[in-house]
Amino acid sequence: MSPLDWPLHGGRAAPLLARFGLSADTPVLDASANLNPLGPPAWLAGWLAERVAGLADYPDPDYTEARAAIAAHEGITPERVLLTNGGAEAIFLAAALHAGQHPGRPAAIVQPSFAEYARACAAQGLPVVEVPLAPPGFRLDPDAVVAALGEARLLFLCRPNNPTGGLLPRGEMEWLLELTAACDCRVVVDEAFIDFVDDEGGEGQAQEALTPLLARFDHLILLRSLTKRYTLPGLRLGYLLAAPETVEAAASLQPAWSVNGLAAELVAPLLADRDFLDRTRRWLAVERPRLQAGLAGLGLEVVPSRANFFLVRHPEGRVATRRLLPALLRRGVLVRHTESFPGLDGGWLRLALRDSEENDRLLTALAGALADSGGEDAP
């Protein structure tokens, strides 16, 4: 299997264990998927068990209660909310909306970023232009945006960005939204990881929130994922926030009952669980700086991250970095390769922030992998 055929997403140990000749039941610490290690909330199992009978009913096709709960949580009206089957469905809906409204016009994607933007554009037959984020800082260069946009009428941007962890500050977002308003280019900001943004002095997340900008910019679409925050990737739950007309147009492209009834009913109790979010913030405040310092202490180059993952590379470059993945897997730790990210080409690894004990295991495994001389190359 060539590295280009490796899994496009984290959380997929089996193909990589097979590729490196390791047994399928090797116990693996998964630092490849960026999920909250505190979840799912402890009450969830009982809650689901009590509602199994509800599976006999169709969900409310308008998801009225879930949308009202999200609207109250975000401080906006329910007409601005569309419930989706994970953030992934929202990405595909945004691409489909664009394809219907601006046939043949390209979409721009800030890269390297989440693979589903390109897949969604390909599914709609959209030409794509890339707006590159250049290493080592991976900052968005305003001139690069202006140069790349051209004929594009849709821009995908991830905030904080997967896999670099950088967050385009709200002030720069406003600049970008003004620029794109002038050229009639819709902006999709995927904030799947926004709940993990460091909360500087308790104000960080509130200051960075883009929700208030929805009232000013009709061409802004915000995407969120509840599956990351509450560790429910198997359940699928996300939402799209936009102008009411955009929500209505996106809803018309969505299959009826796209979100299952249990997931929809779960939205309100999840958002009401303040304790879970408080514990998540406390975990981030301790573990993020600790893991960052540990990684740097091992001599790795670490991209500063506002999210719950770090992009790292070996100081000796691409070949040495690629060797770390199989060396870590042999030590029972799965990390995310970057073979499929444009501009990274396997020269970096993405490591998810886990709980304290697992972060220690990751650091110990890395120390061992770094000490290995040679080893098998990843390709």
Give CA–CA dist 7/334, Å, rounded: 12
Q: How many CB atoms lie within 10 A of CB 50?
A: 9
What number of CA atoms fall less than 13 Å from residue 256's CA on the CB side? Answer: 4
Residue 233 or residue 326: which is nearer to ligand PLP going by CB?
233
C-beta of residue 145 within 8 angstroms of C-beta of residue 131: yes
Give CA–CA dist 326/337, Å, rounded: 10
C-beta of residue 156 within 8 angstroms of C-beta of residue 190: yes
Residue 190 or residue 195: which is nearer to ligand PLP going by CB?
190
Residue 88 or residue 177: which is nearer to ligand PLP going by CB?
88
Residue 283 or residue 341: which is nearer to ligand PLP going by CB?
341
**Nearest distance from residue 316's CB to ligand PLP, in Å?**
29
Residue 268 or residue 367: which is nearer to ligand PLP going by CB?
268
Distances, alpha carbon 140 to alpha carbons 116, 181, 303, 318, in Å:
20, 18, 14, 23
**Nearest distance from residue 223's CB to ligand PLP, in Å?**
7
Q: Residue 191 is encoded by which pair of tokens?
A: 């904030």
**Nearest distance from residue 183's CB to ligand PLP, in Å?**
25
Determine the Cα angle at 124 with ends 123 and 129, to 5°.
Answer: 95
C-beta of residue 83 within 8 angstroms of C-beta of residue 270: no
Give CA–CA dist 353/362, Å, rounded: 9
Residue 140 or residue 363: which is nearer to ligand PLP going by CB?
140
**Nearest distance from residue 29's CB to ligand PLP, in Å?**
18
Residue 236 or residue 323: which is nearer to ligand PLP going by CB?
236
**Nearest distance from residue 154's CB to ligand PLP, in Å?**
16
3-state DSSP assignment of residue 330: helix
C-beta of residue 152 within 8 angstroms of C-beta of residue 108: yes
Strand 81-84 with 128-132, pairing: unpaired
Strand 349-352 with 309-313, pairing: antiparallel
**Nearest distance from residue 33's CB to ligand PLP, in Å?**
7
Q: How many CB atoms lie within 10 A of CB 190?
A: 29
Q: Among residues 115, 182, 128, 175, which one has the least CA distance to residue 155?
A: 128
Residue 196 or residue 283: which is nearer to ligand PLP going by CB?
196
3-state DSSP assignment of residue 239: strand
Q: Which residue is nearest to ligand PLP (CB)?
A: 86
Q: Return residues touching ligand PLP (CB under 6 A).
A: 86-88, 114, 158, 162, 190, 192, 225, 227, 233, 238
Task: Enumerate the β-bridge partners of residue 301.
Answer: 313
**Nearest distance from residue 317's CB to ligand PLP, in Å?**
26
**Nearest distance from residue 197's CB to ligand PLP, in Å?**
13
Residue 83 or residue 369: which is nearer to ligand PLP going by CB?
83
152 φ, ψ (degrees, to nearest 5): -60, 140
**Nearest distance from residue 230's CB to ligand PLP, in Å?**
10
